[in-house]
Amino acid sequence: MINEKMEKAFLEQINAELFSEYLYLSMKAYFANLNLTGFVNWMDVQVQEERAHAMGMFDYLLERGGKVVLEKIEKPESNWNSPLDVFKAVLKHEEYITSRINALMDVAEETKDRAALAFLNWYLKEQVEEEANVSGVLAQLEMIGEDKNGLLALDKELAARTFVAPVIG
């Protein structure tokens, strides 16, 4: 049976992961309105990844005998000034999620829940990858600046990204 404090921390993180899905869905809509189909695809992959992250924690909590109680998901931002601004927001959000995973690991350490620590190691590694991926796109957008041809070339590149269902844990 999972510790009550650990259960509460997982529930809060499940909500944060579902918010991430919702945020990236909003960003997907933003790019769809700009007809940047590669960026739409990139965000669609993010949407799927965040849902998989939330469901991994959801299933883990149930497996440990926890009770899943879902809370309201906050309304995400829906207006940005440019693709660059979107990716700055994505990086800021991913850094926030990384801090939340670290805090969740702190609770696991405090409650001496070694199973949770082992499980959360996958999420920590995933966050390193997430931040690196976003930083790469952000760096390209900064290089492109106002060059529309560069933006369209990046859009074409982002169209190639595919979702691969993660094996969590």
| Mean pLDDT, residues 14-24 taken together | 98
Q: pLDDT at position 76, please?
A: 98
Write out the residue range of the structural domain in which residue 91 sits.
4-70+80-158
Averaged pLDDT score across all residues of the chain: 97
Apex 156 CA angle, 151 and 159, nearest 5:
125
pLDDT in tens, 83-139: 999 999 999 999 999 999 999 999 999 999 999 999 999 999 999 999 999 999 999
Number of domains in the chain: 1
Report if residue 31 sits inside a domain.
yes
Q: How confident is the model at residue 59 (pLDDT cuts 50, 70, 90)?
A: very high
Report if residue 41 sits inside a domain.
yes
Cα-flanking dihedrals φ and ψ of residue 72, to 5°?
-60, 140
Q: Over 110-146, what HEC string results?
A: HCCCHHHHHHHHHHHHHHHHHHHHHHHHHHHHHHHCC
We report the CATH number of the domain holding residue 24 as: 1.20.1260.10
| Mean pLDDT, residues 67-79 taken together | 97
Letter string b/e over residues 72-81, b meaning 16 or more CB atoms within 10 A of that residue's CB: eeeebeeebe
Report if residue 164 sits inside a domain.
no
Report if residue 75 sits inside a domain.
no
Angle between helices 37-63 and 83-110 (to 10 degrees): 10
Report if residue 163 sits inside a domain.
no
Token pair of 126 as six digits: 């995933």
Q: pLDDT at position 22, please?
A: 98
pLDDT in tens, 125-143: 999 999 999 999 999 999 9
Pick the more confident residue, 25 or 165: 25
Report if residue 54 sits inside a domain.
yes
Q: How far apart are CA 6 and CA 8, in angstroms?
A: 5
| CA neighbor of 69 nearest in space, from 119, 107, 12 | 12
Q: How far apart are CA 56 and CA 58, in angstroms?
A: 5
Task: Tell me the H-state helices in the chain.
Answer: 4-33, 37-63, 83-110, 114-144, 148-158
Q: How far apart are CA 91 and CA 89, in angstroms?
A: 5
Q: pLDDT at position 30, please?
A: 98
Report if residue 169 sits inside a domain.
no
Report if residue 166 sits inside a domain.
no
